[in-house]
Amino acid sequence: MYLDTAKKEEIFEKYGQSKADTGSAESQIALFSYRISHLTEHMKQNRKDHSTERALTGLVGKRRALLNYLKSRDINRYRAIVKALGLRK
């Protein structure tokens, strides 16, 4: 499996406050970004996989909603996570 427990803990430790910090907006955005990049690579090889395409669209929407939430609550945290992940906005 591409996303095991060790990889999740690594993502949460890097972008969250600790390994157990699974609920903060930053850690969720980082996890969604990792999953989005994996699904994007899958879609490049399997263009007709419509169920994966729909899941990818849903993940992008969830990440965008979390980014909008973070932007409205704390602009400095928003700017930090966007810079750390290399997102466009």
Domain spans of the chain, in order of start:
5-85
Regions of the chain with pLDDT less than 70: 89
HSE at residue 46, side-chain half, CA atoms within 13 A, is: 10
Terminal C-alpha separation, the chain: 30
CATH number given to 5-85: 1.10.287.10
Q: What per-residue confidence (pLDDT) applies to 89?
A: 53
Record the tokens describing residue 31, joined without a space: 């996890």
Q: How far apart are CA 18 and CA 25, in angstroms?
A: 13
Q: What per-residue confidence (pLDDT) applies to 2?
A: 82
Q: What percent of the chain has pLDDT over 70?
A: 99
Q: How far apart are CA 80 and CA 34, in angstroms?
A: 17
Q: What per-residue confidence (pLDDT) applies to 17?
A: 87
Report yes or no on whether pTM surpasses 0.85: yes
